[in-house]
Chain A
Amino acid sequence: MSRELIPGRLSLPDLVRVGQAGLRARPLRVLLSALGIAIGIAAMVAVVGISSSSREDLNRQLQSLGTNLLTAGPGKNLFGEDVHLPAESVAMVGRIEPVTSVSATALVQDASVYRTDKIPAGQTGGIQVLAAQVDLLPTISGQLAEGVFLNEAIAQYPAVVLGAQAADHLGAAPHQQVYLGKQWFTVVGVLQPAPLAPELDNAALVGWPAAEKLLGFDGYPTTIYARAVEDDVTAVQKVLATTANPEAPNEVDVSRPSDALAAQQAADATLNALLLGLGAVALLVGGVGVANTMVISVLERRGEIGLRRSLGATRAQIRSQFLAEALLLSTLGGVGGALIGSLVTIGYAFSRGWPAVVPPWALAGGLLATLVLGSIAGLYPAIRAARLSPTEALSTP
């Protein structure tokens, strides 16, 4: 009579065991509703993983290309008119203390390049004719696909080096001739794509002297490429405009191509956000599936609930049991989804030749999301189960 009425504690292992038992009794249904969660998590992990892998690839690329390249080009003046850099600007940029190498290209106005002299004028495929200094390649970390680059000697003659895309468009290889500025130039080399100077990909590069002699080139550089000591890049960037054109520094456009590459990546982020949103929707649908499964489970197991109440389970313990079940169910889906998402990332990165990166925070975030979702989805069914009156529960067959 003086017995104290304090319910026994249900230990965590017991709670997990009870939750597991409930799931194990209906494996197919559990698998299907876990699959819903898994698809959502897999989609989100894969989106984050693939974009991380591509960023990592870019980082490595930038590491080998260097982020210390700066470019300067003529902008527009206050009246919106095109201006040009002074002819001596290249040499002046080269005199900036931390600049280790400098080179330049210049747009040759009114010169176009064609495969043959039979091609109608205007069908240039957008290929620009540029005069290039002979030290261009090392400055931009460019590579030759075949042939040779311009040197002091070749630069005097009607010889041309084609960017990767231009060579493709013209269908030209070294030793062939192309019709450039109404005369025949010999292709001496073809470049590989240049990530830091993508404007060269669709360009035909001729020697500076040859351009002046044969193409009526005015000698004004249009893009100055400068490599600076890594730690001083920002400082150089600040003085570059003034140095290139002391009289009108505001008419100089200065940029850092590695930043442009990173910015392009950031543009991809919009698409990623969209895909991530789709993943979240899938996850939400998965959560609804879990809630549905749990509601049905509570309806079907009224007898079991009544029995547990008769054995002394408190309402809270019944609630915990069904919450635990929902959490286990969604965790199963979350872990499976994280695994699938990681595999998709690895497979895709492998196919693109990227390093595979699945950020730990994405995995942790995915699992956290499933836990939150599982508790939300399980809450209502759990409360319903706990509210059931024992006699009512026991009397259902």
Chain B
Amino acid sequence: MTALIELERATKRYAGDVVALDDVSISIGRGELAGIVGPSGSGKSTLLNLIGTLDRPTSGTVRIDGHDVGELSDREVSALRSQLIGFVFQQFHLTAGVVALDNVADGLLYAGVPRAERLRRAAAALQQVGLSHRMEHRPHELSGGERQRVAIARALIGHPPLLLADEPTGNLDSAAGAGVMDLLRGLNSDGTTILIITHDQQIATSLPRRLPISDGRMQPIAPPGIGATKEICHES
């Protein structure tokens, strides 16, 4: 079986000669839990966006579940996102004024699932993240940690094999962040491949695999606790 995520010499260049990602080749297998670590501006989000098919490389290839993203049409790439990938963002991106249940149900809106089924599964997903008692709350009535758990419920409602999280704990205090991480670890042990970007040293060192990046290039994998920790120390 091929790796779930495969990058081959992927490069991302922005206008003004900014090379955000430089000749990156990585392979991430099914069921992995990996962290992308590196200083600010090193290209972590750029990498995650390429893997998430939200953006395409300037050169090189990105293959998700065997599909060469560069070859896919907009419809196909959209279908790939709705079937294979769940996203969790630092800013949650919950729809204001809409209750948690509906926010989570929207996770299946573009998957062709009927509304009743979406709501049923949204309730189950909220239960999975421990928010059964907050289903009818609007985002502004929830704490930061609760909001991120709602966002995670939305990402996992379609049971995607791949979950991408860009600094999911960046806006949370350490207790709430730990809650979110426990949730992600639980999902991973159920088989979901999870890739997260984190600035949190403790979280980073606790992950089974780390992908250090700096200046748009992947760094040689340092033994846990040395290279990565250093990078993060520079940062803070």
**Which chain A residues have a beta carbon within 8 Å of chain B's beta carbons?**
1-3, 5-11, 13-14, 18, 21, 24-25, 303-304, 306-317, 389-391, 394, 397
Contact = CB atoms under 8 A, between A and B. Distances in A.
Given A5-B67, A310-B54, A312-B111, A303 B82 contact: no
B97 interface: yes
Interface of B: 2, 49, 52, 54-55, 65-67, 72, 74-85, 87, 89, 91, 93, 95-98, 106-107, 109-115, 154
A5 B66 contact: no
Nearest to A22: B95
23 contacts: A1-B2, A2-B66, A3-B65, A5-B76, A5-B79, A7-B78, A7-B79, A9-B112, A14-B109, A21-B98, A25-B97, A303-B91, A304-B93, A307-B93, A308-B110, A310-B54, A311-B82, A312-B78, A312-B81, A389-B54, A390-B49, A390-B55, A391-B55
B49 A309 contact: no
A14 B106 CA distance: 10
Contact of A6 (B52, B67, B79): B79
Contacts of B65: 1, 3
Contacts of A390: 49, 54-55
Interface-centre pick from A2, A18, A21, A309 (highest chain B CB count, 10 A): A309
Interface-centre pick from A11, A25, A306, A391 (highest chain B CB count, 10 A): A391
Contact of B81 (A11, A303, A310, A397): A310
Nearest to A397: B91
A19 to B, nearest CB: 13
A364 to B, nearest CB: 31
Counting from the closest, the 7 A-B pairs by CB-CB distance are A312-B82, A8-B112, A1-B66, A312-B110, A5-B76, A5-B79, A314-B78
A24 B96 CA distance: 11
Nearest to B66: A1
A391 B109 contact: no
A11 B98 CA distance: 20
Contacts of B77: 5
A57 B79 CA distance: 62
Contacts, number: 104
A311 B55 contact: no
Contacts of B93: 303-304, 306-307, 394
B106 A311 contact: yes
A324 to B, nearest CB: 14
A15 to B, nearest CB: 10
Given A8-B111, A14-B109, A394-B93, A312 B79 contact: yes
Given A5-B83, A317-B110, A310 B52 contact: yes
Nearest to B118: A14
A394 B89 CA distance: 9
Contacts of B75: 5-7, 314, 316
Given A1-B66, A311-B87, 20 more contacts: A1-B65, A5-B72, A7-B76, A8-B82, A8-B110, A10-B110, A11-B114, A304-B93, A306-B93, A307-B95, A310-B54, A311-B110, A312-B79, A312-B110, A314-B79, A317-B78, A390-B54, A391-B49, A391-B54, A394-B54
Contacts of A2: 66
A165 B158 CA distance: 84
B209 to A, nearest CB: 22
A309 B109 CA distance: 11
A25 B110 CA distance: 21
Contacts of B106: 311
Contacts of A8: 79, 82, 110-113
A312 B49 CA distance: 14
A166 to B, nearest CB: 72
Contact of B83 (A312, A313, A314): A312
